[in-house]
Structure 1
Amino acid sequence: MEPDFWQEKWQKNEIGFHLSQIHPLLKRYWSQLGPASTGRVFVPLCGKTLDMHYLREQGADVVGAELAEHAVIAFFEEAGLDPAVSDWHGGKCYRTEGITLFQGDIFTLDQSTLGPIDAVYDRAAVIALPPALRQQYALHLINLAGNAAQLLITLSYDQSAMAGPPFSVDADNVKDLYGRHYDLNCLSSKNIIEHEPRFRERGLSTLTESCWQLTPK
């Protein structure tokens, strides 16, 4: 998607993708990553997700990347936090104890700027990207995070029935994106359409949410 698309979504507060609670699959499966789960955790395209607070509470040092400055500012304001702000070559860096957010285009973020990463939590990044960008994102993420272990949450559905985002990413897509670098373990997969009226309104009859553990080969 063009950057202006997401900037406009945040400016208009059209953020149906933002959850007002911690994702239950994160709570259920995060510990599956073992020691990496309490290390330095990267959250790509993080928005203002409350999941970052949960990760911090588990002992992780959380690092996020988000294009929209509006989202980054809202994250800290809503938590009552006053971050230190500095510049990096792609935007601004907001930092408080245990949480650092890089505001800017994730594709301009490099490994030397990000620093070492132990684990990745991807709930809304890969599904936010159309196929043309998805492969580029996956390879960039692998290089950026040093092939760190991942907890990945995806949605899959009949793409012909609804235009994304979020885009459909099924098991074959996950294998194509990550299978060369990771052993893939599907921890759960469930049709959640009965709990998602906004997707029914958009024409879907089935919406499968899956949670994947990606272990470096």
Structure 2
Amino acid sequence: MDSGFWHEKWTQKELGFHRSQPNPLLVKHFDKLGLSPDSRIFLPLCGKTRDISWLLGHGYRVVGSELVATAVDQLFEELDIVPTISQSGQLLRYSAHHIDIHVGDIFELDQALLGHVDAIYDRAALVALPEQMRTRYAKHLMAISETAPQLLITFEYDQTVMNGPPFAVDAAEVSRHYDEHYEVSLVSNTAVEGGLKGQFAADELVWVLNKN
């Protein structure tokens, strides 16, 4: 899967992954990270998620990474915020009060560009990547965030009946990526109502990862 896949999704407005409301699992479980309201939260591959509005509205600061500039333009339009746009290494940086979004390849985002983050909310990044990229992504995420705590959402389903994304990431894989550096706790496991893409039976899992 290359960057053209995601650019095409946004160009064709094939946004079945986009929710019109904040993710209920974020609302229900975010306090399990035990963060103060002024904490800075990193959302990798954030798109224009409504979760950003929810986090800002609850006093958190947000930093995101997104491949497609169209998504970020729409995010700021929907937030009714005019960002300052600047070049930041190989990336573009959209900035405003309490929000910074880096546009481009997440693997070009380093610790210095990202800055300090208190936690990661990964609702759509690990599951968006094919298997051969997920190990690289997990290592990169830990490196640039200094192994910040995570609220991670994954899906379990029969990968043979549906091509991702979102891809199936089971408990064994979460352990393989993160057990060496985190205490990994499963806090929720629920069936996806109506199935993924409205037809494929799947479970949605919520994990809390705290640094060892």
- Taking structure 1 as the reference length, the TM-score comes to 0.94
Counterpart for residue 184 of structure 1: 184
Contact kept in structure 2, 1:36 and 1:149, CA below 8 Å: no
**Gapped regions of structure 1 (runs ≥ 5):** none
**1:117 Cα shift?**
1.0
**Gapped regions of structure 2 (runs ≥ 5):** none
Counterpart for residue 121 of structure 2: 121
Amino acid at match of 1:165: P
Number of aligned residue pairs: 212
**1:182 Cα shift?**
0.5
1:67 and 2:67 correspond: yes
Counterpart for residue 79 of structure 2: 79
Contact kept in structure 1, 2:91 and 2:108, CA below 8 Å: no
Partners of 2:135 and 2:142 lie apart in 1 by 11
Amino acid at match of 1:198: K
Counterpart for residue 44 of structure 2: 44
**1:132/1:209 CA distance change after superposition, 3 Å:** same
CA-based RMSD = 1.2
Counterpart for residue 97 of structure 1: 97
Counterpart for residue 140 of structure 2: 140
**1:197 Cα shift?**
6.5
Counterpart for residue 197 of structure 2: 198
1:215 and 2:210 correspond: yes
Contact kept in structure 2, 1:31 and 1:37, CA below 8 Å: no
Partners of 2:187 and 2:170 lie apart in 1 by 14
Displaced runs of 4 or more, over 3 A: none
Bigger proportion of residues as helix = 1
Where do residues 26-37 of structure 1 align in structure 2 (5 Å cutoff)? 26-35=26-35
SS class of match (1:19): coil
Partners of 2:196 and 2:60 lie apart in 1 by 34
Amino acid at match of 2:111: Q
Partners of 2:68 and 2:141 lie apart in 1 by 19
Contact kept in structure 2, 1:36 and 1:119, CA below 8 Å: no
Partners of 1:98 and 1:7 lie apart in 2 by 27
Between the aligned residues of both structures, percent identity stands at 43
Amino acid at match of 1:43: L
**1:36 Cα shift?**
5.7
Contact kept in structure 1, 2:93 and 2:103, CA below 8 Å: yes
Counterpart for residue 130 of structure 1: 130
**1:32 Cα shift?**
0.7
**1:196 Cα shift?**
3.4
**1:38 Cα shift?**
4.0
The Cα offsets for residues 127-174 of structure 1, whole Å up to 9 and x where unpaired, read as: 000110000000000001110000001111001111111100111111
Partners of 2:72 and 2:12 lie apart in 1 by 15
Contact kept in structure 2, 1:36 and 1:118, CA below 8 Å: no
Partners of 1:128 and 1:67 lie apart in 2 by 12
